């Protein structure tokens, strides 16, 4: 399913819960007060230049995802964070004033640019490329080609496409929910335990990089869909889902690995991307 036209209760799979953050217009003031990766730490400035916020326009609601710039013109994210052509998405890049920006953005027409007064760059999507046979239960990946590149200077990360079974020295970075109102719409990150390549259930046979815990720690949350899994300064995966709708209790959460995606990524002229074969 490529799209977000159903309500959030029906949008999740039978077992695992999405990390797309839905915001009702009527609840906007409440919902926008806690937007950060749950229990995550603030991201150092040098680490956040390649993370973007996806503002998604739906029929009666407004939603949010995260994504990563992997070249000047391309954003890597989750397939369920856009419609078929990206026409319902604003891609935003900024380090400050995002709380105020989102408050205005969510009540403004999609064709009205509002970021300048908040020092937030906005871009529209020219085209979307979905991973072949992409579904919510398989490789839910998408590439968004921007109409114009951002002016910001970005140090793009390498994309790791080697199949490995254990990942260490990893972190998640995204615009997910936070319980701390003062950390409003600031990027947060969590330092993960080692991740294991596994099929998380008999219903989801395709392998993922997953964390399985015995107790609650910091976690990926709604709004983190599409954000990168970064290990040793390389992008190894894209945030997929957790096992709980309420992310405070996530004991299992998973990422789509990129080892099957090299041919797909390179087929769109992304020759400037450096693909890493082996972890350092």
| 182 & 133 share domain | no
**Each residue's pLDDT tens digit in the chain (280 positions)?**
222 222 222 323 333 334 444 433 333 333 332 333 444 556 666 666 888 999 999 877 788 888 999 988 999 998 888 899 999 999 999 877 888 898 899 899 999 999 999 999 999 999 999 998 766 566 789 999 999 999 888 778 888 888 888 888 787 777 765 554 444 444 555 555 666 676 655 455 567 777 665 555 555 565 567 888 888 888 988 987 665 555 555 556 678 888 888 888 888 866 666 666 544 4
Is residue 120 one of the residues assigned to a domain? yes
C-alpha dihedral, 169 to 160 to 229 to 263, nearest 10°:
-160
| 62 & 92 share domain | yes
Is residue 20 one of the residues assigned to a domain? no
CATH number at residue 75: 2.40.10.10
Answer whether 13's CB lies under 8 Å from 90's CB. no
Q: What residues contact residue 90 under an 8 Å CB cut-off, 6+ apart?
A: 54, 55, 57, 105, 110, 122, 123, 124
Answer whether 137's CB lies under 8 Å from 204's CB. yes
| 180 & 223 share domain | yes
Nearest to 207 by CA among 162, 252, 239, 165: 165
Is residue 27 one of the residues assigned to a domain? no
Is residue 39 one of the residues assigned to a domain? no
| 51 & 141 share domain | yes
| 64 & 136 share domain | yes
CA distances from 275 to 43, 258, 265, 278 (A): 25, 10, 10, 9
Q: Which domain holds residue 94?
A: 45-146
Is residue 179 one of the residues assigned to a domain? yes
| 68 & 123 share domain | yes
Structure confidence at residue 127 (pLDDT): 94
The 3-state secondary structure of 52-99 reads EEEEEECCCEEEEEEEEECCCCEEEEEHHHCCCCCCCEEEEECCCCHH
| 51 & 126 share domain | yes
| 140 & 174 share domain | no
User: Would you give the DSSP letter of residue 257?
Assistant: E
Number of domains in the chain: 2
Structure confidence at residue 44 (pLDDT): 60
Structure confidence at residue 110 (pLDDT): 93
User: Would you give the DSSP letter of residue 255?
Assistant: E
| 190 & 225 share domain | yes
Structure tokens at 136: 């919510």
Is residue 56 one of the residues assigned to a domain? yes
Structure confidence at residue 142 (pLDDT): 93
Structure confidence at residue 144 (pLDDT): 95
Structure confidence at residue 194 (pLDDT): 66
Burial track 234-253 (b if 16+ CB lie within 10 A, e otherwise): bbbbbbbbbbbeebeebebb
| 232 & 184 share domain | yes
Is residue 9 one of the residues assigned to a domain? no
| 218 & 175 share domain | yes
| 98 & 171 share domain | no
Is residue 14 one of the residues assigned to a domain? no
Structure tokens at 95: 């380090």
């Amino acid at each position: 399913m490529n799209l977000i036209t159903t309500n959030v209760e029906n949008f999740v799979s039978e077992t695992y819960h999405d990390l797309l953050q839905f915001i009702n217009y009527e609840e906007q003031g409440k919902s926008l007060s806690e937007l950060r990766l749950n229990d995550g730490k603030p991201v150092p400035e040098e680490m956040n230049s390649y993370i973007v916020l996806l503002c998604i326009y739906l029929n009666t609601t407004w939603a949010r995802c995260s994504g990563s710039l992997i070249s000047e013109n391309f954003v890597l994210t989750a397939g369920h964070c856009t419609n078929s052509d990206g026409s319902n998405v604003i891609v935003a890049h900024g380090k400050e004033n995002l709380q105020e920006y989102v408050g205005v953005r969510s009540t403004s027409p999609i064709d009205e640019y509002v970021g300048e007064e908040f020092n937030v760059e906005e871009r529209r999507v020219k085209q979307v490329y979905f991973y072949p046979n992409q579904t919510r239960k398989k490789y839910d990946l998408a590439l968004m080609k921007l109409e114009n590149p951002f002016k910001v200077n970005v140090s793009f990360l390498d994309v790791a496409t080697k199949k490995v079974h254990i990942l260490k020295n990893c972190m998640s970075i995204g615009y997910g929910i936070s319980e701390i109102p003062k950390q409003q719409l600031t990027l947060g990150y969590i330092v993960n335990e080692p991740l294991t390549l596994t099929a998380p259930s008999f219903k989801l046979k395709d392998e993922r990089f997953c964390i399985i815990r015995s107790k609650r720690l910091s976690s990926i949350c709604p709004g983190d869909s599409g954000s990168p899994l970064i290990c040793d300064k390389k992008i190894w995966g894209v945030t997929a889902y957790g096992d709980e709708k309420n992310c405070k209790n996530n004991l299992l959460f998973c990422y789509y690995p990129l080892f099957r995606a090299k041919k797909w990524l390179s087929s769109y002229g992304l020759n400037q991307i450096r693909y890493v074969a082996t972890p350092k």
